[in-house]
Chain A
Amino acid sequence: MACIEARGLRKSYGATVALDGVDLTVQEGRILGLIGPNGAGKSTALNAILGLTPFQGQLKVLGLDPWRQRDELMRDVCFIADVAVLPRWMKVTQSLDYVAGVHPRFDRAKAEAFLAKTSIKSASRIRELSKGMVAQLHLALVMAIDARLLVLDEPTLGLDLLYRKSFYDTLLNDYFDHSRTIVVTTHQVEEIQHILTDVVFIDGGRIVLNRSMDEFETRYAEVMVRPEDLAAARALGPIHERAVFGRSILLFDGVDHGKLAAFGEVRTPSIADVFVALIGGAHAQGVAA
């Protein structure tokens, strides 16, 4: 069964169209990266999926209408909608007590085991923790919930590199198990490229690209081309070209990797590079972070 099924999903705020007819199917057991510049509609899409905002069009999450059946949906769906939204007045133990008290699928022992590996003290108030520790605590709470869908909207924004890396490593090693589905948005695309199974580019409220990572890797290829081969390589129709240290890197879509190998080493491009090629320079800053 599809975990998320959207048909003609639309949402506008006054005259601003945030989602302009999105069709999207996410199967169970996938890790989907939703990539887009600021204001592309990522958060609106996630809010619709989480039943936080009404929408037009068809949308089913785990077979339920997220807006009308939100209360039911939240037993199987968990999300981190932003960094550091845990209430600052709460104590760490209270956050465990609370989630254990209201969530039927919360495994307290699992959360405590995870916290034991961090430097978070259970007697601390959340306001006393660093931003990275708050993110760790939130992840500990969320990972201990046996949810079928986990939505992460910029879960590591503003965290340093070490926290970001351990966040995704933990998620992948201790949480993901092929029966769960994860949808994640982030500007730090390179850091999650290796954990994704699917990637969706969204821009101006529309889906620009929707591929599994396997397809992504067979379709897109980049080659650092020697100057003398440049004309020949350009003849194959690269979708993007950039210069690094005086040499040209050409990005190809659907060109046979064997042909490209003649010009140099063929590599899988980063999602960010393909994003820039497809969505263009005007938005480049959006993913460059």
Chain B
Amino acid sequence: MNTLSDAVPDAIPQARVSAAAPTAPVRPLYWSLRRELWESRSLYIAPLVVAGLILFGFFVGVAHITGEVNRIQIDPDKRGAVTAIPYAMAAIAIMVTGFVVAAFYCLGALHNERRDRSILFWKSMPVSDLKTVLVKVSVPLLIVPAILFVVIFAVQLVMLAVSAMVLLPSGVRFATLWTQWPIFRMSVVLAYGLITEALWFAPVWGWLLMVSAWARRAPFLWAVLPPIGVCIIEMFAFGTGHFAHFLGQRLTGGADAAFSDTGPHQMIVDLAQIDLARFVASLDMWGGLVVGAGFLAAAVWLRRTRDPV
């Protein structure tokens, strides 16, 4: 039997050198964010796929109607207005896709790492639970809106170029297209809309992350069934639908809180509709942020104390 003294060489020069090496500069937040995007590629792939489908549909549609446009006598000034609809539709479709993917991202963000036990690896790194959760919530709050902005802007630009190629030969002036669809002014509306919507959903992101950190299995059901249960109980017990109304308001009311003149069928296309004062003064928005922060605090605590599943 050998003892330690003969098993372990006394000097291991390499290890000594590294022990004296200075510490390297690190950017834990940046690399934690990179790691989220490595894992959840659907955050940008899904909006890109939808963008691709929309552009494909738009090309086909444009090719189809080119002949019609030339035959039907429309006031050239109105043709631009007709073409405005696909831009808004494209923006909405991509936005909905992005936020739905963000919701599923949140549901998995603190659950998957416990299910595959990789949390034991993440926790061996000097990145605190607070930092981890903040990085994860920054994905729906900042990263997804940024991705959506770039994708929607690019799609609208391509659509504008295609419309111009199709409509200009039929007598529509480019200036008309431009004034009917002012893409750069619209991009301000888009950016504002994305940011306010992401903030408006803050309690939703917080709730999903908290459930993700808490549920041992089926986080989707745990996230969805309790609110539905509350609605049903309220309906049977009191015959009212306040909670359902409240939930509906939270899921669809973001635009109302951030823009003025938003009728049921009114599209948001104009800078004049931006109403920052209303948004900042919205108690619902601030209340949502506070509730969202509460859910996040719970998620941090749960990540700290829950065992892998």
Instruction: List CB contacts (< 8 Å) of A35-54 with chain B.
Output: 50, 52-54
Size category, B interface = 35 or more
User: Given A102, A175, A268, which contacts B127 in the complex, CB threshold below 8 Å?
Assistant: A102
A89-B39, A98-B35, A172-B7 are known contacts. Are A268 and B1 too (CB-CB below 8 A)? yes
**Judging by beta carbons under 8 Å apart, are A174 and B15 in contact?**
yes
In the complex, which residues of chain B have a beta carbon less than 8 angstroms from the beta carbon of A70? 128
Q: A100 — which chain B residues lie within 8 A by C-beta? A: 24, 26
Q: In the bound complex, do residue B125 and residue A102 qualify as a contact, i.e. CB atoms below 8 Å apart? A: yes
* Contact for A87 among B25, B31, B116, CB less than 8 A: B116
Interfacial chain A residues near B38, Cβ < 8 Å: 89-91, 94
Number of A residues contacting the other chain (C-beta, 8 Å)?
55
Contact of B18 among A54, A82, A146 (CB under 8 A): A146
CB-based contact A101/B30 at 8 Å? yes
Q: Roughly how many angstroms separate A135 CA and B49 CA in the complex, as a whole number?
A: 37
- B61 at the binding interface (Cβ < 8 Å): no
Q: Does A214 contact B (CB under 8 A)?
A: yes
A31, A85, A179: which contacts B4 (Cβ < 8 A)? Answer: A31
Give the complex CA separation of A173 and B16 in angstroms: 12
Question: When each residue 116-129 of chain B gets 1 if its CB lies under 8 Å from chain A and 0 otherwise, what string results?
Answer: 11111101111110
Query: What A residues does B127 contact at CB under 8 A?
Result: 102
Known: A31-B4, A98-B35. A174 touches B12 (CB 8 A): yes
Judge whether B14 and A174 touch: CB under 8 Å. Answer: yes
**B21 part of interface (Cβ distance < 8 Å):** yes
A197 and B124 within 8 A (CB): no
Contacts of A31 in B (CB 8 A): 4
Give the residues from 170 to 209 in chain A that come closer than 8 angstroms, CB to CB, to chain B: 172-179, 193-197
Question: For A229, what are the chain B residues with a Cβ–Cβ distance below 8 Å?
Answer: none
Closest Cβ of chain A: how far from B31's Cβ, in Å? 3
In the complex the two chains form, is A102's CB within 8 Å of B126's CB? yes
| B23 interfacial contact with A, CB 8 Å | yes
Q: CA separation between A138 and B124, bound complex, in Å? A: 11
Contact among B21, B26, B39, B113 for A103, CB-based, below 8 A: B26
Q: A104 near B118 (CB under 8 angstroms)?
A: no
B8 engages A176 (CB within 8 Å): yes
* Contact flags A129-140 to B (C-beta < 8 A → 1, else 0): 000000000100
A79 touches B124 (CB 8 A): yes
Is B27 in contact with chain A by the CB < 8 A criterion?
Answer: yes
For residue B32, CB closer than 8 A to chain A, the reply is yes
Within 8 Å CB of A74, what residues of B? Answer: 123-126
* CB nearest to B20 among chain A residues: A146
A103 and B126 contact, CB distance less than 8 A? yes
Q: Does B225 contact A (CB under 8 A)?
A: no
By the criterion CB–CB under 8 Å, are A85 and B121 in contact? yes
| Best-surrounded residue of A88, A106, A177 (most CB of chain B within 10 A) | A177
Whether B2 is near chain A, meaning CB under 8 Å from some CB there, is yes
Partner of B28, one of A53, A89, A102, A105: A102
Q: Which residues in window 106-136 of B have CB below 8 A to A?
A: 113, 116-121, 123-128
Tell me whether A274 is interfacial, beta carbon within 8 Å: no
Task: Give the Cβ gap from A218 to chain B, nearest Cβ, in Å.
Answer: 10
If A82-B120, A98-B31 are given as contacts, then 16 extra A-B residue pairs at C-beta distance below 8 Å, sorted by A number, are A70-B128, A80-B124, A81-B123, A85-B121, A90-B35, A90-B38, A97-B34, A104-B26, A104-B126, A173-B9, A177-B15, A177-B19, A193-B1, A195-B4, A195-B7, A196-B4
| 20 A–B contacts from the bound complex (CB under 8 Å) | A50-B124, A52-B123, A54-B305, A71-B126, A74-B123, A75-B126, A85-B118, A89-B38, A94-B35, A100-B24, A102-B28, A102-B126, A104-B25, A106-B24, A110-B14, A138-B121, A172-B7, A172-B8, A174-B12, A177-B15
Query: Top 5 closest A-B pairs, CB basis?
Result: A101-B31, A268-B1, A104-B23, A87-B118, A81-B120
Interface residues of A (CB under 8 A from B): 31, 50, 52-54, 70-71, 74-75, 78-82, 85-91, 94, 97-107, 110, 138, 142, 146, 172-179, 193-197, 213-214, 217, 267-268
